[in-house]
Amino acid sequence: MNNSIVTEFMILGLTQKPELQGVLFIIFLFIYFVAFLGNMLIVIAIVYNTSLHTPMYVLLLALAIVDIICTTSIIPKILATMLTSRKTISYGGCMSQLFFFTWSLGAEMVLFTTMAYDRYVAICFPLRYSAIMNHYMCVALLSVVMAIAVTNSWVHTGLILRLTFCGSNTIDHFFCEIPPLLALSCSPVRINEVMVYVADITLAIGDFTLTCISYCFIIAAILRIRTTEGKRKAFSTCSSHLIVVSLYYSPVIYTYIRPASSYTFERDKMVAALYTLVTPTLNPIVYSFRNKDMQAGIRKVFACLKH
């Protein structure tokens, strides 16, 4: 139920300096262009090529779709506010943006863990991989990802909808996220903060821990590889995956583990840019474009377009 007196919010964006608006517009447009096209290319390549219909690539397909939803729920609105003098978003639009962003946040965290588990099984139990990561297991894992993401999003969006916004309607951020909305609330936000804290511990820290444990087992298996070239390639892949995962989890944990009163939005906006803009752009490069099978799948897509 909408208990709000405020009918729309004003979004301040990353900066209020007019001289930087043009530069930021180009940067945001470029990021969206790279993230959207990169992830869409992965979606098309995996759907089009039956040879990529395996658990690893199905999980990559899911990650690409989540990244498209994440960036599309945020960046087009940012670009629109930069092009016009009207820097507002309706109450309903703000809640919709919050819902889809929170959904993608939860889905991405659980997907990273699921993908790490898939690689753990593939590297540590190669002979049993097909039996363990079969069609039913893949469907079950994706169902768990969806259930957790939807539950997480409904809980936090529902709790925000219960709040009353009767004072300032200015969001000191570049999109509608939980921390700046809690800071604007005229009603108590203790329940919201507790649920955010619980989600941060279970989803962010919990998933990050499980992901790191999986990669520890993977690295231990890599160390048993006899060829130096094999070790080098495996370590290169693992290190790049861990860097992207750390870039995502660290700012999320930092942002959501604190009470609303401790937020410093000038700094936190930059932190939020890491998991809303940078990671969705890097994911296609790190997880897919360096993969030989994916490269072959993408070439097939381009060959089909030529004909």
Q: Which residues are paired to 9 by β-bridges?
A: 89
SS3 content of the chain, % helix, strand, coil (to 5): 80, 5, 20
Is residue 11 helix, strand or coil? strand
Q: Residue 142's Cα: distance from chain center in Å? A: 16
The pLDDT, as a whole number, for residue 303 is 82
Can you tell me which residue has the tokens 């890599």? 222
Confidence of residue 236 (pLDDT cuts 50, 70, 90): low
Confidence of residue 142 (pLDDT cuts 50, 70, 90): very high
* Among the listed residues 94, 117, 70, 26, the one whose alpha carbon sits nearest the alpha carbon of residue 279: 70
**pLDDT digits over 217-234, tens only?**
988 888 887 666 666 666
Residue 157 scores a pLDDT above 90: yes
User: In a 10 Å sphere around its CB, with 0-12 CB exposed, 13-18 middle and 19+ buried, how is residue 86 labelled?
Assistant: exposed
Q: Which residues lie closer than 8 Å to 111 by C-beta, 6 or more apart?
A: 59, 62, 63, 66, 145
Q: Which residues are paired to 227 by β-bridges?
A: none
- Alpha carbon distance 235, 250 (integer Å): 21
Q: Which of 13-17, 90-94, 144-148 has the lowest mean pLDDT?
A: 13-17
Confidence of residue 307 (pLDDT cuts 50, 70, 90): low
- Domain edges within the chain: 16-257+265-306
Amino acid at residue number 131: A
Residue 146 scores a pLDDT above 80: yes
Fold classification of 16-257+265-306 (topology level): Rhopdopsin 7-helix transmembrane proteins (1.20.1070)
The pLDDT, as a whole number, for residue 292 is 82
